Chains A and B, each alone.
Chain A
């Protein structure tokens, strides 16, 4: 993903309940280091495999904040896309995502509020057939 990529442009009338979009991603060690510098969170769980295993995990655990960053990509680039204004997020982490693990984020429009032009998206993150995180997003479509 680069800044040269353009967000999808959808009008309100093109949105429909049940419409979905996905983001496939693999978090790399470089992204983990970048997020540590950005957030100031250098917890060993996210950088030290031995520490992570000693605490019951299979390896270095991806930051929850990085998963939220992927949700930001979904909202701002795909659904609703260019005119989205993020209003809220509710997210539950059920299982860890590991560095280097292939994952898919899917957002599905659960409800459209015509009066406020707010979209509620059902969010799911899966890897290896398992649900890792789920929640809801509210985003307003800011169009004239």
Chain B
């Protein structure tokens, strides 16, 4: 899957989790930039990504993520 397709699907996931149809994401986007991005929403993002991309992450993989770009890279490596 090419990066653009990963970002397209991630955008859909973020919009659903944060209930914001106008939300756009970029590689540098981090949790600190979105007040609603708390630990519970983070879990929802990970769950939704695992379901959408049909893969499973480890706890250490998720804990080390700093921003959307690292999340997308992790997904690309695991596909």
Chain A residues close to B by CB (< 8 Å) = 87, 111, 113-118, 138, 140
Partner of A138, one of B47, B57, B61, B62: B47
| B residues in contact with A87, CB < 8 Å | 40, 43-44
A115 to B47, CA, bound (A): 9
Number of chain B residues whose Cβ lies closer than 8 Å to a Cβ of chain A: 13
| B residues in contact with A117, CB < 8 Å | 59
| A residues in contact with B51, CB < 8 Å | 111
With both chains docked as a complex, state the minimum distance between the C-beta of A87 and any C-beta of chain B, in angstroms.
8
Main secondary structure of the interface of B (DSSP, over half): helix
A115 to B62, CA, bound (A): 7
Main secondary structure of the interface of A (DSSP, over half): strand
Chain B residues close to A by CB (< 8 Å) = 40, 43-44, 46-47, 50-51, 56-59, 61-62
Name 15 interchain pairs, CB-CB below 8 A, sorted by A: A87-B43, A111-B51, A113-B56, A113-B57, A114-B57, A114-B58, A115-B46, A115-B50, A115-B61, A116-B46, A116-B59, A116-B62, A118-B47, A138-B47, A140-B43
Partner of B43, one of A111, A114, A118: A118
